[in-house]
Chain A
């Protein structure tokens, strides 16, 4: 794609939101607006994005939003697109949920909607913890990360939503990072043209939870991809395609050292050598599985 980001208009955000400085979700929201155009309705489940839109009855999002209880996003979206279909309206329904809403409390609803192949885009903004309530661990928090409920560092690995959703045989699945906006925008544009359940998981590094300077959000999002901690892939009809930005991860020797990603974040300050090894293994396993699917 030859367009620069400045050439792309975003319909999704109005000037002035309640987001924190350096907020990756605001970045992702803008990219959604750059990709999906006008006829979009959003379902926002409990999380930072319920707050970022500001205080009602006004709203800083350019799209109509149904804010809904934590576990109900995919169910509500199922009802919505079916209603639009009955009314002969061509509307793209997007569920916007964090990793807690996706991996934990909302998982049954997500899995049910995916199994029924409901016709909407499910967007998981993965900042790897419950950031809206002060940074508690979620099922998506990686091993070793310090959160407000794992002050000693999380003992378990990140729940692999990518593979779990792959096993639901959804028509479209992709991962992206706010560090690579073009990649995300391209993927959302592809997703928009596909019918059925579309799952997109975006890594959204959070300056306040991951403990880095708010000016570095995009940079940390890039480092996650460069060190192969976060793969950029796309799966259409079970065919796996690796984005250019992640191609170097196919071979272990061309990967950037993982510590380049970990060392810029305060949440890994207490990482022991063993924890570090665990995370390296995690990345190796991740890529082994992806390669096995090629």
Chain B
């Protein structure tokens, strides 16, 4: 069934279709409408999910984890400050190897207050031991959320999984979304599987003090599970074709006009479509460029990346996130994977708008620079109207 819905509505639908048992909810912009939609579904009697309205994001993950380790499918969603407030529990969930699904509608992190989109909140969780995928459309938000339940509950994985999507740009924008039927999803996601169930019958205990050598082995087991999940992700993606034949999930990441390209652009999330339009325009003008969209931050698709980008003359990586004092996290990951000449661009932070014109400008400049052999490491890019904004900072006012 096709329906015009927002990214947040798509996520709520995915939670309904996955027959989630317990949802811990706490509102934060721009995730709010996911949990409002779930509360509405509950009020209308459309779901048997237990919707728990908690007092903080820390508790939202606490409830979700408590329910997950006690044997039911559990979900929560958050953004920005909320994700950071939840940070401790995100690690606790990963260390418990509890299959949990969470959606992050990304947003800048204060101070100062900023409610608009940026991916730094999401990217700052990449050391925590979760599988992390990132959607580029409401369609992918729905599909990846459904797949996340299957992937995280696979015995080869048993790791929580988060699905990111650009706040407002996807969370609040309505597009045509193909929705699989309940029967199809029921067949796609088997009954809940998990490594341990806390229960008087099983007598399992979790999380007490471990010796250093046991602790280190457990950390490695999470690391290995995330790496090995690549196979599960592609397997699940292939099978998802039965539910949605319109989108390709056979690979972790997505290539666009890359095969014959000399130059490659790397992006993640919603703005990839603007970047693709810029690529099309550059191709029309004879510039041999293609695009590679990162859909999985964890596991990191090292082999896929080398295969797709290893032979490119130069690579341009766009980051909508920062590791302040260093570079964009995607750029750093790409640098650690490839030896090709590379440039990083940090753009679109805190809701600064990036259109296809901006992508066209940055990509053409990058192609010229690489032809002339003067690729700069990392650049902060501002669209024309932002370039004119003056700001007094503590250093400049002295």
Contact = CB atoms under 8 A, between A and B. Distances in A.
A67 B208 contact: yes
Contacts of B92: 68-69, 72
Nearest to A73: B62
Contact of A69 (B56, B64, B89): B89
A71 interface: yes
B63 A75 contact: yes
Interface stretch (B66-74, B169-177, B270-278, B362-370): B66-74
A170 interface: no
A63 B53 CA distance: 28
Interface string A70-95: 01111111111011111101010000
A4 interface: no
A57 B196 CA distance: 13
Given A64-B202, A66-B66, A79 B210 contact: no
Nearest to A39: B200
A117 to B, nearest CB: 12
Interface string B259-277: 0000000000000000000
Interface in A201-251: none
Contacts, number: 161
Given A67-B206, A83-B21, A75 B199 contact: no
For the residues of A in contact with B, the DSSP-based class is mixed
B54 A112 contact: yes
B205 A65 contact: yes
A80 B88 contact: no
Contact of B66 (A56, A63, A76, A111): A76
Interface residues of B, number: 42
Contacts of A19: none
B209 interface: yes
For the residues of B in contact with A, the DSSP-based class is mixed
B58 interface: yes
B200 A38 contact: yes
A59 B205 contact: yes
B110 interface: no
A63 B199 CA distance: 9
A136 interface: no
B24 interface: yes
Interface in B121-161: none
Interface string B37-65: 00000000000001011111011111111
- Size category of the A interface is 35 or more
B210 A55 contact: yes
B68 A79 contact: yes
B10 interface: no
Contacts of A64: 198-200, 202-205
A109 interface: yes
B119 to A, nearest CB: 26
B208 A53 contact: yes
Given A108-B55, A116-B52, A79 B200 contact: no
A51 interface: yes
A76 B200 contact: no
A77 B208 contact: no
B66 A65 contact: no
B69 A57 contact: no
A50 interface: yes
A218 B260 CA distance: 81
A79 B50 CA distance: 9
Contact of A75 (B62, B68, B71, B198): B62
B317 interface: no
B394 interface: no
B207 interface: yes
B52 A82 contact: yes
A72 B55 contact: no
Nearest to B200: A39
A69 B202 contact: no
A41 B198 contact: yes
Contacts of A44: 208
A53 B205 contact: yes
Contacts of A80: 66-67, 69-70, 198
Contacts of A166: none
B211 interface: yes
A181 interface: no
Interface of B: 21-22, 24, 50, 52-56, 58-72, 74, 88-89, 92, 198-200, 202-211, 214
15 contacts: A41-B200, A54-B208, A64-B202, A74-B62, A75-B62, A79-B22, A79-B66, A80-B198, A83-B22, A83-B67, A87-B70, A87-B71, A111-B55, A116-B52, A116-B54
Interface of A: 38-41, 43-44, 50-51, 53-57, 59, 61, 63-69, 71-80, 82-87, 89, 91, 108-109, 111-112, 115-116
Given A67-B207, A75-B62, A79-B74, 15 more contacts: A40-B200, A53-B205, A55-B210, A59-B208, A66-B205, A69-B89, A69-B92, A72-B61, A78-B63, A80-B67, A82-B22, A82-B52, A86-B50, A111-B55, A116-B53
Q: Which 10 A-B pairs have the closest CB atoms?
A: A75-B62, A79-B66, A112-B55, A67-B207, A76-B66, A79-B67, A83-B70, A75-B59, A72-B62, A79-B63
